[in-house]
């Protein structure tokens, strides 16, 4: 490869990795709060699928992407509430319930699509989010479009990253939530209601997973097809371990995934003789390596996935 081609590849990856990272990042940010409170939600994949189909339906019929995102987030919040009732109030196994929610979202999203549009080979499309190009700044060589040429939701999610990190690490409520995740009995002795914080966490986590799914439809693809998330929800859960429950580290992990995702598309065009299945594996293989190298040394909240029974 010559230098010009290498520069082009790097620039293309920088420009493309953020949109590809955003669905996973939105979901992973919600899951970070979820797990920080001691709740493991393996149903993120199913909630993302429901957010994706909901966003398509709302935008297709009402032509309002803002409403589509809000409704998708609300649907995710409902699924988060269901998850909370089952694992917090009823104290059912979090792994089993999360898996069940994944299956429900996986099946129901396909049913809603088929019931609305049939099984046509030409799926309906909606406009993807417009990008914001800032005069002069966008034209900065190499980094201009990478930083100043994204769609509005990217900047909203970056703001959410800053807000969540500040909340978890610099507020009394954030400290209370993390205490609930480590030892809810200690939190209760301190006068903190573990159930309240855990419910708030699962609602936020569900909402963000719904937004993540909606971004796939409205920010990247402009349509919907069965199993459109392709494992992104599970990657989001895994990257929380990679990020060691630190929002900024989680964000870096999602950017790496996005970069590898763009890279595999480029390599597929440059070297078409290599089976495309190999390229499709790359983002997931890289994520697995990241987890093995860094995530296995991470220490999760001590009460993660453990039901809290008051008085015991």
- Per DSSP, 273 falls in state T
Nearest to 10 by CA among 155, 145, 134: 145
Distances (CA, A) of 253 to 9, 119, 213, 240: 20, 36, 18, 9
Chain-centroid distance, C-alpha 150: 18
Radius of gyration of the chain (CA): 20
Tokens of 137: 């700044």
Q: Please report, for the chain, the start and end positions of each structural domain, with discontinuous segments joined by +.
A: 15-118+148-297
Q: Look at residue 1 in the predicted model and tell me its pLDDT.
A: 55
Q: Look at residue 134 in the predicted model and tell me its pLDDT.
A: 76
User: pLDDT tens for residues 179-237?
Assistant: 999 999 999 999 999 999 999 999 999 999 999 999 999 999 999 999 999 899 999 99
Supply the pTM of this predicted model: 0.93
Spatial separation of the C-alpha atoms in residues 234 and 36, rounded to whole Å: 17
Q: Look at residue 271 in the predicted model and tell me its pLDDT.
A: 74
Task: Find tokens 């855990």 and name the residue.
Answer: 198
Fold topology of 15-118+148-297: ABC transporter involved in vitamin B12 uptake, BtuC (1.10.3470)
Q: Where are the alpha helices (DSSP H) in the chain?
A: 3-36, 44-62, 65-84, 94-117, 144-148, 152-170, 172-182, 184-189, 194-215, 232-242, 247-270, 276-293
The answer to whether 224 and 49 are in contact (CB under 8 A) is: no
Stretches where the chain sits below pLDDT 50 are none
Q: Look at residue 296 in the predicted model and tell me its pLDDT.
A: 66
Q: Look at residue 37 in the predicted model and tell me its pLDDT.
A: 97
């Amino acid at each position: 490869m010559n230098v010009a081609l290498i520069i082009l590849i790097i620039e293309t990856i920088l420009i493309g990795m953020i949109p590809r990272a955003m669905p996973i990042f939105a979901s992973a940010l919600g899951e970070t709060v979820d797990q920080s409170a001691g709740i493991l939600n393996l149903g993120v994949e199913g909630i993302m699928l429901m957010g994706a189909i909901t966003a398509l339906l709302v935008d297709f019929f009402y032509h309002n992407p803002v409403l589509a995102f809000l409704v998708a987030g609300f649907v995710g919040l409902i699924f988060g509430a269901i998850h909370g009732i089952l694992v917090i109030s009823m104290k059912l196994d979090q792994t089993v319930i999360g898996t069940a929610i994944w299956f429900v979202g996986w099946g129901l999203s396909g049913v809603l699509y088929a019931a609305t549009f049939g099984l046509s080979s030409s799926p309906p499309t909606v406009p993807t989010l417009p990008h914001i190009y800032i005069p002069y700044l966008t034209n900065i060589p190499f980094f201009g479009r990478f930083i100043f040429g994204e769609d509005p939701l990217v900047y909203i999610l970056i703001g959410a990253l800053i807000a969540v990190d500040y909340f978890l690490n610099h507020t009394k409520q954030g400290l209370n939530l993390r205490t609930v995740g480590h030892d809810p009995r200690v939190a209760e002795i301190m006068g903190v209601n573990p159930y309240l914080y855990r419910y708030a966490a699962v609602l936020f986590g569900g909402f963000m997973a719904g937004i993540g799914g909606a971004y796939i439809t409205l920010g990247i693809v402009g349509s919907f097809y069965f199993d459109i998330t392709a494992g992104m929800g599970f990657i989001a859960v895994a990257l929380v371990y990679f990020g060691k429950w630190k929002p900024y580290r989680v964000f870096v992990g999602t950017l790496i995934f996005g970069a590898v995702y763009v890279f595999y598309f480029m390599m597929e065009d440059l070297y078409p003789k290599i089976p495309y299945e190999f390229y499709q594996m790359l983002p997931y293989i890289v994520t697995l390596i990241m987890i093995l190298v860094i995530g296995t040394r991470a220490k999760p909240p001590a009460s993660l996935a453990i039901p809290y029974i008051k008085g015991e």
